[in-house]
Amino acid sequence: MSELRDECGVAAIYHLPGRGVSPLCADCGPDAVSRLMPRMLLDIQNRGQLAAGMSTYHPHRKQFIGTYKDVGMVGEVFRMSHRAQYENLMKEFDGRAAIGHVRYATCGADDRNYAQPFERPHIKKHKWFSFAFNGQLANYSKLRNELLADDNNHLARETDTEVFMHQICQALTADRQPPLVDVMREIGAKFDGAYSMVLLDALGDMIVARDPLGIKPLCYAVEGPLFAAASESVALMNLGFASESIKPVPPGQAIIISDGRLEIQTFAHSSRRAHCFFEWVYFANVASTMDGRSVYLARKALGEELAQLETVAIDDDTVVVPVPDTSKAAADAMAYALKVPCVEGLIRNRYSGRTFIEGSGDRKRKAETKYTPLREVLEGKRVILVEDSIVRATTLKVLLQRIRQTGLPREIHVRVACPPIISPCFYGIDMSTVSELFAAQFLQDGPLTPEAEARMAARLGADSLRYLPVEAVARAIGFEPGNLCQACITRCYPTPCGQELAQVAADNDRNNIAGRTYESVGGARQLFLRQSH
């Protein structure tokens, strides 16, 4: 799974006037709560490790909005290991409100220009804003073409973040100073896809909004004068918010802070929910709770589902081994149910670098050094290797080869705490074509069968392979299937443009047409670089 990327994470913080001083920000004071932003971004660093940034607002600063961002991990960007440099940055960007972002760059471009937040200066304060979002617009090509149909318009980057920014600009010019909920209603009516958004303007007003289907996670908390929001609850818990005060932002609703007053308003309606199931399976921090469902308990339940399906012979030499780190909860639960040891047979080298930002050859070489098999633990054992999911299988193939050569196990049985990934994602996960998906090659003409699993195991170099069935996901998470987006495992997409793109992807695969699916929509000149937000 190390070759799969999400679309990053967002955070926001605001000191509401007239409510005293919060003990959560006693060290920094009301006019410098922005100093809490790097700490919040550290807690969602799992969602993006190539770039980070924040925008802050201070009414007594000549530059009402100040944006600081760069390529690198959060600690690197904010100079957190250099106290004097960090303090100088925090002083320069002090503010009573802030938004932040962490980013993955799936195209591998170490380019600060693509780092978020995106700031758009303007002489009018209500039109001077900075924003960031987590997700992806499935109708990016259509919106981009509409903007460029006017020769007076220009887009400097190949990313839906810039298209998103210009849609906000258009909504702000529709009125002298439109209510922020009306801005959200206008842009929400145009968007098809996933977006959890944070926005801060030069009036000191803020928007925290979530798309009508709630595809990507977003939560918030208010205690006394302090408001905070983030993609994951762990960022709020570690600030000191009580767990009972942390709530999900309702889909289709926006938290709006204007003139220092906080309101929650509906900007779009939907008859259903479509929370991304992959958040619980892989992306989210295991300590987080999203939409009332614990990530840890969901992964534990997935492991218990795997145990119920197990048919391999169990003896004294059988061990369960997780692929670090996201499959550990599932592996622990599976081993406990089977009454066999769960052991650390693989040690992850946390300093080997990210395998997904190099080319395929470099990625393979990086994968070879990412995990070290322990011969003392694995030799002569029947190994049940638990993976959270398989997408391209690049890393897993290399890993299995290394385990056999170095660990010398008797057998390796791969168990996947997720159903087969058979269709692309157009809502922010880096998989846009059918041909790149490992399982899709084996399941083009029918459902998952033991015979198909045997063929996949042979291709991987495992003695056997077993996936979870689709119905196990909703049971483990605790949602009705209709309230989850499971498009990549069912081929049923929750939005019209997502379904349209899926058909384009399927046609491209059948006709051996190379290139990203987005390139086939809106004309070949529309190159959509693989950037997630």
**In sequence order, what DSSP letters do the residues of 316-332 get, joined into one string?**
TTEEEEE-TTTTHHHHH
Bridge partners, 54 (sequence order): 68, 100
- The better pLDDT of the pair 391, 362 is held by 391
Amino acid symbol at 184: M
pLDDT at 518: 61
pLDDT at 137: 93
Q: Which two tokens stand for residue 237?
A: 């818990």
CA distance 253 to 176: 23
What is the pLDDT confidence band of residue 510, given thresholds at 50, 70 and 90? Answer: confident
The whole-chain average pLDDT of the chain stands at 90
Which alpha helices (H) appear in 449-495, and where do they start and end?
450-460, 471-477, 487-490
Q: Which of 103-117, 207-221, 272-286 has the lowest mean pLDDT?
A: 103-117
CA distance 190 to 142: 10
CA distance 9 to 433: 24
What is the pLDDT confidence band of residue 358, given thresholds at 50, 70 and 90? Answer: very low
pLDDT at 155: 87
pLDDT at 449: 94
Amino acid symbol at 243: S
What is the pLDDT confidence band of residue 4, given thresholds at 50, 70 and 90? Answer: very low
What is the pLDDT confidence band of residue 349, given thresholds at 50, 70 and 90? Answer: confident
- The better pLDDT of the pair 445, 359 is held by 445
Over residues 14-26, mean pLDDT:
88
Q: Is the pLDDT assigned to residue 493 strictly greater than 90? A: yes
What pLDDT digit, counting tens, does each position of 213-264 carry?
Answer: 999 999 999 999 999 999 999 999 999 999 999 999 999 999 999 999 999 9
Angle at 451 (CA atoms; ends 466, 318), nearest 5 degrees: 35
CB count in 10 Å sphere of residue 83: 9
97 by DSSP, 3-state: which? strand
What is the pLDDT confidence band of residue 515, given thresholds at 50, 70 and 90? Answer: low
CA distance 460 to 454: 10
CA distance 532 to 10: 13
The pair phi, psi for residue 289, each rounded to 5°, is: -120, 130
Q: Is the pLDDT assigned to residue 94 strictly greater than 70? A: yes
Catalytic residue annotation: 8
Over residues 418-443, mean pLDDT:
92
225 by DSSP, 3-state: which? coil
What pLDDT digit, counting tens, does each position of 284-330 carry?
Answer: 999 999 999 999 999 999 999 999 999 999 999 999 999 998 999 99
Over residues 55-82, mean pLDDT:
95
**In sequence order, what DSSP letters do the residues of 377-414 get, joined into one string?**
HHTT-EEEEEES--SS-HHHHHHHHHIIIII--SEEEE
What pLDDT digit, counting tens, does each position of 374-405 carry?
Answer: 999 999 999 999 999 999 999 899 999 999 99
CA distance 531 to 344: 34
Angle, in degrees to the nearest 10, between helices 160-172 and 180-190 = 130
pLDDT at 361: 52
pLDDT at 525: 33
What is the pLDDT confidence band of residue 156, given thresholds at 50, 70 and 90? Answer: confident
Q: Is the pLDDT assigned to residue 517 strictly greater than 80? A: no
| Domains of the chain, earliest start first | 9-256 (3.60.20.10), 293-494 (3.40.50.2020)
Calculate the dihedral angle through the C-alpha atoms of 85, 88, 92, 97, rounding to the nearest 10 degrees. Answer: 80
**Nearest CA among 202, 185, 191 for reference residue 266:** 185
pLDDT at 519: 57
How are the residues of the chain apportioned to helix, strand and coil, as percentages rounded to the nearest 5? 35, 20, 45
CA distance 395 to 392: 8
pLDDT at 495: 96
Percent of the chain past pLDDT 70, that is, above it, reads 91
